[in-house]
Structure 1
Amino acid sequence: QAGGSAMARVAALLLLPVLIESVLSISFFLPVNTRKCLREEIHKDVLVTGEYDISEQANTKTNLKITDSSGHTLYSKEDASKGKFAFTTEDYDMFEVCFESKSPMGTGRVPDQLVNLDMKHGVEAKNYEEIAKVEKLKPLEVELRRLEDLSESIVNDFAYMKKREEEMRDTNESTNTRVLYFSIFSMCCLIGLATWQVFYLRRFFKAKKLIE
C-alpha cells in the first residue's frame, strides 16, 4: 500500500509538466456575426478531445468547425450549443478551432455569447478509468499504464525535436554553402567588371591621345 502511494506520488510529479501543456481551458465572449479561431500544434498520432459550452441567444446560431492546415475538416457542428468532440492527428500539424456566430438581427442588438472550451490531448485525453474497467486493471496498474503512455509521449517529443534539429542543421549548412557560392560568384563578377573598366578606360584615353 505504501509502495502504491509512493508510485502515485511519482506519477503525479512526472505528469505535472505534461498536464500543463496538454490541457487547454479557455473562456471568451463571441460577438454576433463574428468568427473567432484558436490554433494549436499537435504531434502525430495524438488523441485530442474537447468539450464546449456556448451560451444560448435568441435568433443566433453558432457553428463550430475544426480543420487542419490542409483544410480537412476534423469536426463540424452547426448550431452548436453544448457537446464533445474527439479526433486523432495523422501527422504533426496545426489544427484550428473556429466558432462563428450568425444572426439576422445585426451587430449591437444581440448580447455577446459566452464560449467555454476545454481541450485535452495526449495522455490527459485518455480515459484511464474506462480503460481500467474494460481491462480490469488495479489502481497501480492504471498508474503504470499512464506512466508508460507518458514515457512514450516524451520519447516521441524528443525524437521530433531531434528531427527538427537535424532539419535545421541541414538547412543552415545548405544556406551557408549557397551563400559561399554566391559570394564567390559576386567576387568574380566584380573582378571581371573592374578588369573590363580598366581596358575600356585605357582604350578611351588612347583614342583621345591622353596616354600612349
Structure 2
Amino acid sequence: MNILTLFIILPIFYSDLTAIWVDVLPNTKKCFQEEVHKDVPVVGEYEIDNLHGNHVSISVTNTKDHSFYQKDEGSKAKFSFTSDEYDVCDICFQVKSQQTNPQLFTPIYFEMKHGVDAKNFDDLGAAANLKPLEIEMKRLEDLSYELVRNLVEMKKREKDMRSNNESTSNRVFYFSVFGMLCLFSLAFWQVLYLRRYFKAKKLID
C-alpha cells in the first residue's frame, strides 16, 4: 500500500466530526449529548445566523456537572477542552427573549471536532517549518495513533461486555438451579404432608 492510498483510505474510514443545525424557540432550551474520550482534544464552534433580538447562552458540562465551557452572550464563538476521563458531555443552547410574543426560531450552527480533526496542522507545520508533505505525514501519523487507540478501546469494551454477559449468564443459571431445587423441595414436602394427612384420616394404609 503506497502513501497515496493511505491519503484516500484513512480519511474515509475515520472521521470524528459532529456538525448540526438546530432551531431553538425563544425562551426554550435545547440540548444534545456527545461522547468525549480521555486526553483527546475537543474543539467546538457555533454561529448564530440571526438572533432576532434574542439572547443565546451555551453551556458544555459533563455527567458530574463540571463545566467545560459557558457563555451567555455572542453570536459566534470557538472553544476547546480536554477531558480527564471518558464521559458524555451535554451541549445546551438556551434562547431568552424580551419580546411579548416571540415566535421566530433562532437557527444555530454547531460543529464539534475530536482528536486529529481538532488539531490545526497548518499552524503546527508553520511553527515547526514543515513542508506540506511533512504536514500531511504528521496528520496521518496522528490519525493512525488515534485509530489504534480507538481499536484498543473497542477491544476493551468488547471484553467488558463479554465478561458482563458471562457473569449474567452464570447468575441466571444458578438462579434457575436454585428455583428448580425450591420447586422439588416444595413438591417433596407436599407429598409427605398429603401422605401424613391421608394416613391420619385413615384413607390409606
**TM exceeds 0.5?**
yes
Contact 1:57 1:110 in 2 (8 A): no
Aligned position for 1:197: 190
| Uncovered stretches (5+) of structure 1, i.e. residues with no partner | 1-5
**Given the alignment, which residue of 90, 93, 116 partners 1:96?**
90
* Structure 2 letter corresponding to 1:149: D
Counterparts of 1:60-79 in structure 2, within 5 Å, are: 60-79=54-73
Q: C-alpha distance in 1, partners of 2:199/2:5?
A: 93
The one-character-per-residue Cα deviations of 1:125-173 (angstroms, maximum 9, x if unpaired) are 1000000011111111111111110011010111001101110111111
Percent identity reads 44
Q: C-alpha distance in 2, partners of 1:178/1:190?
A: 18
Q: C-alpha distance in 2, partners of 1:118/1:83?
A: 11
* Structure 1 letter corresponding to 2:79: F
Q: C-alpha distance in 1, partners of 2:98/2:200?
A: 84
Counterparts of 1:126-205 in structure 2, within 5 Å, are: 126-205=119-198
Contact 1:51 1:84 in 2 (8 A): yes
**Given the alignment, which residue of 76, 80, 90 partners 1:86?**
80
The residue matched to 1:157 in structure 2 has which SS? Answer: helix
Q: C-alpha distance in 2, partners of 1:97/1:8?
A: 38
- Say if 2:6 is the partner of 1:15: no
Contact 1:44 1:90 in 2 (8 A): yes
Aligned position for 1:56: 51
TM-score by length of 2: 0.92
Q: C-alpha distance in 1, partners of 2:60/2:144?
A: 28
Q: C-alpha distance in 1, partners of 2:3/2:26?
A: 50
Q: Which deviates further from its counterpart, 76-85 or 153-162?
A: 76-85
Aligned residue pairs, count: 203
Which stretches of structure 1, 4 residues or longer, exceed 6 Å deviation after superposition?
none
Q: C-alpha distance in 2, partners of 1:192/1:11?
A: 69
The residue matched to 1:210 in structure 2 has which SS? Answer: coil
* Structure 2 letter corresponding to 1:198: V
Q: C-alpha distance in 1, partners of 2:126/2:111?
A: 25
- Structure 1 residue 209 displacement after superposition: 1.4
| Uncovered stretches (5+) of structure 2, i.e. residues with no partner | none
The one-character-per-residue Cα deviations of 1:14-56 (angstroms, maximum 9, x if unpaired) are 123323xx22221121100111112122322111112111222
Backbone CA RMSD of aligned residues: 1.6
- Structure 1 residue 110 displacement after superposition: 4.2
* Structure 1 letter corresponding to 2:130: L
- Structure 1 residue 121 displacement after superposition: 1.2
